[in-house]
Structure 1
Amino acid sequence: MLLVVFSAFLMVQCTSEKAEQPALIPMPQNLEWNGEAFNMVDSSARFGQRIVPHLNEIPLNENEAYSLDVTSDSLILSALTEEGLFRGLQTVKQLTYFENGKRFVAGCSIRDWPAFRLRGFMQDVGRNFQPVEMLKEQIDVLATYKFNAFHFHVTDNPGWRLESKEYPQLNSPESMSRWPGKYYTQEEFKVLVDYCYERKITLIPEFDLPGHSAAFRKAFGFESMNDPRVQPVLIDLIDELVSLVPPEKMPYIHLGTDEVWHSYEEPSPTLLPALLERVTQYHGRELIVWRPGQHIEGDSVSITQLWSSNGHPKPGHRYLDSRLNYLNHLDPLAGIPQLYFERINGAAHGDSLRMGGILCNWNDNLVANQYDAVLHNPVYPGIVTYSETSWTGQSEGFGEKYLAKFPERNSSAFQKYTDFEERLIKHRDLYFQDKPFPYVKQTHIKWRIAGPFNHKGDVNKKFPPEDSIAAEYVVDSERYAWSEPVIGGTVHLSHFFGYPSLFPKETGTYYAFTRIWSPEDQTVNSWIGFHDWSRSGGRRGGPFPNQGQWHNTNPQVWLNGEIIQPPEWINPGLEDSSSEIPFSDENYYFREPTKIQLRKGWNEVLLKIPVIPQTWKRMFTFVPVQVEAGNVSEIEELKFFAEIKKLNK
Structure 2
Amino acid sequence: MQQAALIPLPRSVQWTGDVADFSRLAPRFRIVAPEMAGPSFELAYEALARAVNELTGWTAEEFPVLEIVDDPEITAAGSPLEGAFGLLLTDIGEQFGEEGYRLTVGPGALVQANSPAGLFYGVQTLRQMLRFEDGRLSAPCCVIEDWPAFPWRGIMLDQGRNYQSPEFLRRQIDIAARYKLNVFHLHLTEYPGWRFETRAFPHLKTEPYYSQDELRDLVGYAAARFINVMPEIEMPGHCTAFLDLMPHLKCTNDTMCMGCEELYSTLKTILEEVAEVFPSPYIHIGTDECEGGTDCPRCQAKWEEISSQPDHPPTLMAYFISRMNEVVKGLGRTTVTWNDQLDLGIPKDVVIHSWKMGSHAPSIAAMGYRVINSHSRDVYFDYGLAPEYVRRIYEWSPNEDVPMPVPGLLGGQGEAWHDPPVEDEWQIIEDLGFYPRLLALAERVWQGPDGRGVPFEEFEERLLDHRDRYFSRLPFPYPEQTENWKDRYKGWTHPRGIWTPPEQS
Shared fold (TM-score, shorter chain, > 0.5)? yes
Alpha carbons 1:348, 1:395 under 8 Å: kept: no
How do 1:145-156 and structure 2 match up within 5 A?
145-156=179-190
Distance verdict in 2 for CA 1:268–1:121, change over 3 Å: closer
Alpha carbons 1:114, 1:392 under 8 Å: kept: yes
SS of residue matched to 1:229:
helix
Partner of 1:68: 103
| Distance in 1 separating the partners of 2:458 and 2:465 | 11
Q: Which amino acid aligns with 1:439?
A: Y
1:369-403 residue CA offsets vs partner (Å, 9 max, x unmatched): 33222121111111111111111122388xxxxxx
**Displacement of 1:37:** 1.7
Instruction: Give the structure-2-normalised TM-score.
Output: 0.78
Match of 1:251 among 281, 293, 299: 281
Match of 2:368 among 316, 322, 333: 316
Alpha carbons 2:393, 2:440 under 8 Å: kept: yes
**Displacement of 1:268:** 6.3
**Displacement of 1:219:** 1.3
Q: How many residues align?
A: 416
Partner of 1:354: 409
How do 1:152-301 and structure 2 match up within 5 A?
152-171=186-205, 173=206, 181-221=207-247, 222-224=249-251, 225-226=257-258, 227-246=260-279, 250-261=280-291, 263=293, 270-280=319-329, 282-293=330-341, 299-301=347-349
Partner of 2:419: 364
Alpha carbons 1:116, 1:350 under 8 Å: kept: no
| Distance in 2 separating the partners of 1:396 and 1:136 | 29
Match of 1:100 among 134, 137, 153: 134
Distance verdict in 2 for CA 1:48–1:263, change over 3 Å: same
**Displacement of 1:98:** 2.2
Partner of 2:92: 55
| Distance in 1 separating the partners of 2:277 and 2:344 | 26
Partner of 1:416: 455
Alpha carbons 2:384, 2:492 under 8 Å: kept: no
* RMSD of aligned Cα (Å): 2.3
Gaps of 5+ in 1: 1-18, 174-180, 398-412, 446-488, 491-513, 515-526, 537-585, 597-649
Distance verdict in 2 for CA 1:336–1:327, change over 3 Å: same
Partner of 1:476: none
Match of 1:83 among 113, 117, 123: 117
Pair 1:113-2:147 in alignment = yes
Partner of 1:302: 350
Alpha carbons 2:399, 2:449 under 8 Å: kept: no
Whose Rg is larger?
Answer: 1
How do 1:363-442 and structure 2 match up within 5 A?
363-395=418-450, 416-442=455-481
1:5-25 residue CA offsets vs partner (Å, 9 max, x unmatched): xxxxxxxxxxxxxx4111001
Alpha carbons 2:156, 2:415 under 8 Å: kept: yes
Gaps of 5+ in 2: 26-81, 252-256, 300-315
**Displacement of 1:339:** 0.5
| Distance in 1 separating the partners of 2:343 and 2:483 | 48
Bigger share in strand: 1
Structure number with higher relative contact order (C-alpha < 8 Å, ≥ 6 residues apart): 2
Partner of 2:45: none
| Distance in 2 separating the partners of 1:258 and 1:298 | 13
| Distance in 1 separating the partners of 2:152 and 2:113 | 18
Distance verdict in 2 for CA 1:595–1:390, change over 3 Å: same
Distance verdict in 2 for CA 1:202–1:350, change over 3 Å: farther
1:263-320 residue CA offsets vs partner (Å, 9 max, x unmatched): 279856643222111212x121121111023666671201101011233415101101
| Distance in 2 separating the partners of 1:223 and 1:283 | 26
Alpha carbons 1:292, 1:310 under 8 Å: kept: no
Q: Which amino acid aligns with 2:438?
A: I
Distance verdict in 2 for CA 1:535–1:152, change over 3 Å: same
| Distance in 2 separating the partners of 1:423 and 1:317 | 36
Q: Which amino acid aligns with 1:214?
A: T
Distance verdict in 2 for CA 1:351–1:95, change over 3 Å: same
1:227-246 residue CA offsets vs partner (Å, 9 max, x unmatched): 22111000111111112244
**Displacement of 1:350:** 5.0
Alpha carbons 1:292, 1:311 under 8 Å: kept: no
Alpha carbons 2:430, 2:499 under 8 Å: kept: no
Partner of 1:558: none
Partner of 2:10: 28
| Distance in 1 separating the partners of 2:347 and 2:426 | 39
**Displacement of 1:74:** 2.5
| Distance in 2 separating the partners of 1:425 and 1:268 | 47
SS of residue matched to 1:26:
coil
SS of residue matched to 1:155:
coil
Alpha carbons 2:373, 2:411 under 8 Å: kept: yes
| Distance in 2 separating the partners of 1:534 and 1:262 | 28
Instruction: Give the structure-1-normalised TM-score.
Output: 0.61
| Distance in 1 separating the partners of 2:352 and 2:277 | 24
Alpha carbons 1:66, 1:88 under 8 Å: kept: yes
| Distance in 2 separating the partners of 1:318 and 1:244 | 25
SS of residue matched to 1:359:
strand
Distance verdict in 2 for CA 1:368–1:113, change over 3 Å: same
| Distance in 2 separating the partners of 1:134 and 1:348 | 38
Partner of 1:345: 399
Alpha carbons 2:291, 2:317 under 8 Å: kept: no
Bigger share in helix: 2
Alpha carbons 2:387, 2:491 under 8 Å: kept: no
Distance verdict in 2 for CA 1:305–1:530, change over 3 Å: closer
Alpha carbons 1:139, 1:196 under 8 Å: kept: yes
Distance verdict in 2 for CA 1:432–1:332, change over 3 Å: farther
| Distance in 2 separating the partners of 1:428 and 1:588 | 19
| Distance in 2 separating the partners of 1:357 and 1:373 | 21
Alpha carbons 2:282, 2:335 under 8 Å: kept: yes
Distance verdict in 2 for CA 1:283–1:531, change over 3 Å: closer
Q: Which amino acid aligns with 2:5?
A: A
